[in-house]
Amino acid sequence: MRKLLLALFVLPALAGVAQAQLDPDDDGIGVYFDPCACNNCIAMDVGAHRAFLVITHPTSPQGVHGWEAKLTTTGPIFLTNVNVDPLGAGAINVGIAAGEYIVGVVTPMINPFTYPAVVIAIIDFYLANTTTPARFFIDGVFFHSLPQKVPAYLDGANTNIIKELKQSTGGRTFPVATINGDCAVATEDQTWGGVKALFR
C-alpha cells in the first residue's frame, strides 16, 4: 500500500519536471505560453489569453538589469496589456514607438524557480478568430544599444555590459510563437543526398 501511495504522489511530480525548455542556447528570447519557456506553439479558442516574454539561459549570473526588444504580431490577435514588471523589480518602459520596449529595472530580475529562464514581460491578448494563424515576432528597437539592430539585455552584475539576445526560432523574420498554425522548428541546411543517406 505504501508503494502505491508513493507512486501516486511522486510520479505526477516527476512528470511536471520532465518538460524541457525549447531553446537550449544561451541568451535567447522568445514568446511562450508558459513561464518555463516550454511551449511556443499552441491551439487556442477565441477569447482572452496570456503569454510570456522570456529570456532563456541568460549568461549573466546576477540576472537582467534591463532589456530592449520590439514585439509585433500578425493575424487575428490584439495585445491588450504588456506588463514589463512581472516580478515587481521596479521596471519601467521608456520605449515610445509602437511595440518597442526599452525597459530599465531597479533590481535585476532573476528567476525565482529552477529552470534557466527569466520572465521579462507578461503579454495579455485577445484572439479574435481561429481560422487564421496568429504569430509573434521579436526584433531590435529603432534606437538600439548595440551596433546592430537586435534585441539585447543589460547584465545584472555589470551595467556596462550589454548582451545580444537571439530569437528562439532563428531571427526577426521567423515567428517566435504561433497560435493555431504550423509550428516553428529549428532547421539545419541539408542536401537531398544527405537526407537520403539517413535512410540507407
The pLDDT of residue 9: 38
Q: Could you write out the DSSP letters of every residue in 71-107?
A: EEEESSEEEEEEES-TT-S--EE---STTEEEEEEEE
The pLDDT of residue 114: 58
Mean predicted lDDT score pLDDT of the chain: 84
105-122 residues labelled b (16+ CB within 10 A) or e (exposed): beebbbbeeebbbbbbbb
Mean pLDDT across 83-107: 92
The pLDDT of residue 193: 56
Mean pLDDT across 51-57: 94
Confidence of residue 170 (pLDDT cuts 50, 70, 90): confident
Tens-digit pLDDT profile for residues 60-89: 888 899 999 999 999 999 999 999 998 888
Mean pLDDT across 108-114: 76
What is the domain extent for residue 95?
Answer: 21-183
The angle subtended at Cα 115 by Cα 33 and Cα 101, nearest 5°, is 55
Domain membership of residue 1 (yes or no) is: no
Tens-digit pLDDT profile for residues 178-196: 999 988 654 444 555 555 5
Mean pLDDT across 29-42: 93
Lowest mean pLDDT of 10-14, 147-151, 162-166, name the range: 10-14
Q: 137: which 3 cell numbers?
A: 515576432
The answer on pLDDT for 153 being more than 90 is: yes
Q: How many domains does the chain have?
A: 1
Domain membership of residue 191 (yes or no) is: no
Report which of 112, 153, 138 is spatially closest to residue 53, judged by C-alpha positions. Answer: 138
Domain membership of residue 77 (yes or no) is: yes
The pLDDT of residue 183: 83
The pLDDT of residue 192: 53
Mean pLDDT across 25-40: 92
Domain membership of residue 178 (yes or no) is: yes
Bigger pLDDT: 161 vs 19: 161
Report which of 85, 88, 86 is spatially closest to residue 103, judged by C-alpha positions. Answer: 85
CATH of the domain at 109: 2.60.40.680
Total residue count of the chain as it appears in this document? 200
Write down the pTM of the prediction. Answer: 0.81
Task: Give the Cα separation of 179 and 73 in Å (integer).
Answer: 11
